């Protein structure tokens, strides 16, 4: 006798097994570890940009490219390829092989770390999957992470390719897309890992505060994208005064490029102005959110850490600007942005769980 559709629909869905429930924290630790590697890769990527090393490897070999040049002939060939692109001719003409090696290692390290992250994700994922430790609802989320990681590699090469023929650096649009996807993968991984680690534990908060926490995390992410355009346009090396910019708090020539919308993405002045203004907005929103969270003890703790991180990040950004973004300060500012975003994600995820 066959079971009717109504009977099948009335049956409860099969929940996670005891093994899968016990493995949640193991999977969370693995995801936290991979997220830490992504954090490191974003910083190495920033250093690669700050040292202008990103175009030193002019080929994309996902497998064979894992090995650096191992002979004098291989180094000479890599250097010869670099000497064929505009960056060498217009910026680094006359550099020695030793100088080339110094920028090559930054880009190679960035790519190698990307390959290592793929390995560090895929092997444990297959093991958890093969031993049936991944519950049904979690498997698609982990698969999406892996697909996005592969897409990030393709996007990275697409970014590099933009600087190999008609430019002396990569496109700011592609650079920001590359940074944005890396940040989203990182946030997604941290969010899922936190859910596995904490389970359904909920803290007291109003619905408005819960929504505001998500909006604040989105605002921090938007600010990071604006920072990508500042980096891509090298806008931090000019207008090195604060709080004025080009002699005024609001410069009169923000929209000198036509059509007007291109100023947001192609004008150094407008890109830096936008980044400054949104930084002020983040500061105000974070301060307001911290005040609103003080009514709820547990929410207040993570809101306080976020507010302190935002204040430190703004101070670090001003310092880097006034000193015309030396490499250590530029890297510290990018790391600080990711710390702020991490705390915003942690805070939003804590508030996302609602009491039953």
The 10 Å Cβ neighbour count of residue 259 is 7
32 plus 126 within the same structural domain: yes
- Write the DSSP string, 42-70: HHHHHHHHHTT-TTS-----TTGGGSPP-
- Location of structure tokens 């008609």: 166
In a domain, 256, yes or no: yes
- 64 burial type by CB count under 10 A (0-12 exposed, 13-18 middle, 19+ buried): exposed
Task: Indicate the residue among 149, 167, 199 that finishes a domain.
Answer: 199
Contacts of 261 (CB under 8 A, 6+ apart): none
Task: Indicate the residue among 129, 164, 199 that finishes a domain.
Answer: 199
159 plus 212 within the same structural domain: no
For the segment 342-349, the average pLDDT, to the nearest whole number, is 96
In a domain, 4, yes or no: no
151 plus 237 within the same structural domain: no
224 plus 99 within the same structural domain: no
210 plus 350 within the same structural domain: yes
131 plus 228 within the same structural domain: no
135 plus 246 within the same structural domain: no
pTM value surpassing 0.95: no
112 plus 54 within the same structural domain: yes
pLDDT in tens, 276-299: 999 999 999 999 999 999 999 889
247 plus 169 within the same structural domain: no
Task: Indicate the residue among 141, 170, 199 that finishes a domain.
Answer: 199
The span from the CA of 353 to the CA of 195, in Å, is 9
In a domain, 137, yes or no: yes
- Write the DSSP string, 200-244: T------HHHHHHHHHHHHHHHHHHHHHHHHHHHTGGGS---SS-
216 plus 147 within the same structural domain: no
In a domain, 9, yes or no: no
In a domain, 10, yes or no: no
239 plus 341 within the same structural domain: yes
Domain residues for the domain of 120 are: 19-199
3-state secondary structure at position 248: strand
When divided into structural domains, the chain yields a total of 2
Q: Which two tokens stand for residue 53?
A: 């090393």
Residue 352: the pLDDT is 87
pLDDT band at 356 (very low <50, low <70, confident <90, very high): very low
- Location of structure tokens 């697909």: 147
Residue scoring higher pLDDT (258 or 182) = 182
174 plus 253 within the same structural domain: no
Averaged confidence pLDDT in the chain:
92
In a domain, 8, yes or no: no
Residue 54: the pLDDT is 92
CA neighbours closer than 13 Å in the CB half-sphere of residue 153: 18
Peptide bond into 353 cis (omega under 30): no
Cβ proximity of 240 and 322 under 8 Å: yes
Residue scoring higher pLDDT (106 or 3) = 106
């Amino acid at each position: 006798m066959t079971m009717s559709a109504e009977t099948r629909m009335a049956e409860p869905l099969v929940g996670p097994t005891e093994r899968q429930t016990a493995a949640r924290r193991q999977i969370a630790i693995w995801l936290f570890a991979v997220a830490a590697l992504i954090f490191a890769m974003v910083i190495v990527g920033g250093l690669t940009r700050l040292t202008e090393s990103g175009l030193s490897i002019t080929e994309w070999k996902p497998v064979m490219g894992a090995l650096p040049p191992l002979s004098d002939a291989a180094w000479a060939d890599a250097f010869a390829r670099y000497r064929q692109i505009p960056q060498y001719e217009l910026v680094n003409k006359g550099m020695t092989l030793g100088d080339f090696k110094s920028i090559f290692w930054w880009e190679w390290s960035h790519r190698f770390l990307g390959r290592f992250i793929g390995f560090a994700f895929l092997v444990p994922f297959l093991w958890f999957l093969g031993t049936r430790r991944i519950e049904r609802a979690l498997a698609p989320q982990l698969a999406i992470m892996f697909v996005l990681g592969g897409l990030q590699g393709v996007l990275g090469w697409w970014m590099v390719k933009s600087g190999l023929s008609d430019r002396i650096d990569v496109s700011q649009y592609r650079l920001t897309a590359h940074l944005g996807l890396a940040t989203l993968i990182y946030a997604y991984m941290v969010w899922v890992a936190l859910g596995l680690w904490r389970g359904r534990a909920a803290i007291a908060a109003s619905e408005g505060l819960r929504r505001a926490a998500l909006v604040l995390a989105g605002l921090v992410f938007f600010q990071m994208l604006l920072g990508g355009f500042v980096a891509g346009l090298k806008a931090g090396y000019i207008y090195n005064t604060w709080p004025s910019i080009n002699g005024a708090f609001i410069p009169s020539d923000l929209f000198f490029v036509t059509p007007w919308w291109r100023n947001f993405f192609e004008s150094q002045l407008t890109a830096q102005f936008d980044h400054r203004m949104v930084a002020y907005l983040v500061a105000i929103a974070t301060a307001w959110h911290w005040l609103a969270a003080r009514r709820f003890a547990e929410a207040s703790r993570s809101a306080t850490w976020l507010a302190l991180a935002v204040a430190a990040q703004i101070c670090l950004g001003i310092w880097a600007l006034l000193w015309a973004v030396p490499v250590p300060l530029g890297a510290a500012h990018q790391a600080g942005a990711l710390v702020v975003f991490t705390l915003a994600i942690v805070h939003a995820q804590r508030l996302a769980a609602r009491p039953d």
